[in-house]
Structure 1
C-alpha cells in the first residue's frame, strides 16, 4: 500500500494540484474537522459506492488516524484503483496545518 503524509498533501494543494481526496470517516466525525472539498464515503459504504469512482484518478484516502483509510486504500487497490493512504489521518493533518501556520504566520 502506498502512503502520503499530510504535509505532502498540503504542499500539493498549495501547488494547486487537482487531488481526489476521500474521507472514510462517519459524517459526525467530519463535523469536528475536515479537509476543504473532500468527498465523504464512510468506510462501510465504500463497497456500495465504488462505482462512483474513476480508475483513471489517484485517490488519497483519509480517516482519523490512518487505520481505516489504510483498509480503504487496500480495498481500492484490490479493485484496480490507485490509492494512497494519508498516514496519521486527520490527527497528522491538524498538526501539519498548525505547523504551517507557525512557520509562515499565515494559513495555507
Structure 2
C-alpha cells in the first residue's frame, strides 16, 4: 500500500476519515508532541504488542516516527505479520508539523 503524506492525513483527520495512527517513537518523544488520536507503541515494543493489534490486521494503519526511518521498519514488520493496509507517514512528525 502506498505511503501517505502529511497534507493527506490532515485532510482525512479534518473530514473524520482518519485511519488508525501508530506513533513508533519513544514515549518521551510522544510526550513532547503527538498527532491527535494516535497510539504510542515504541518500535522496540512492537513485537510484543502484536496480539493487541490483531483486530487491526485488515484496517488501514498509518505508522509514523520523527522523520520516517523507524516507521518504515515498523511498516515492514507489520506487513510481514499479515497486516495488509499499512502506510508510512512520509516525513514523519517533522513533516506533519510543517504541513
What TM-score do the two structures reach when normalised by structure 2?
Answer: 0.92
Question: RMSD between aligned alpha carbons?
Answer: 1.1
Structure 1 residue 18, shift from structure 2 partner: 4.0
Residue 106 of structure 1 is matched in structure 2 by none
Contact 2:24–2:70, Cα closer than 8 Å, also in 1: yes
Displaced runs of 4 or more, over 4 A: none
| Corresponding residue number in structure 2 for 1:3 | 3
Give a deviation string over 1:53-84, Cα, whole Å, max 9, x none: 12121110010000000000011111110210
- Equivalent residue for 2:95? 92
- Normalised by the size of structure 1, how large is the TM-score? 0.84
Q: Could you list the runs of 5+ residues in structure 2 that have no partner in the other structure?
A: none
Q: Which residue of 1 aligns with 2:40?
A: 40
Q: Tell me if structure 1 keeps the 8 A contact 2:9–2:18.
A: no
Please state which structure has a larger fraction of its residues in strand: 1
Count of residue pairs brought into register by the alignment: 96
Q: Which runs of 5+ in 1 are unaligned?
A: 97-108
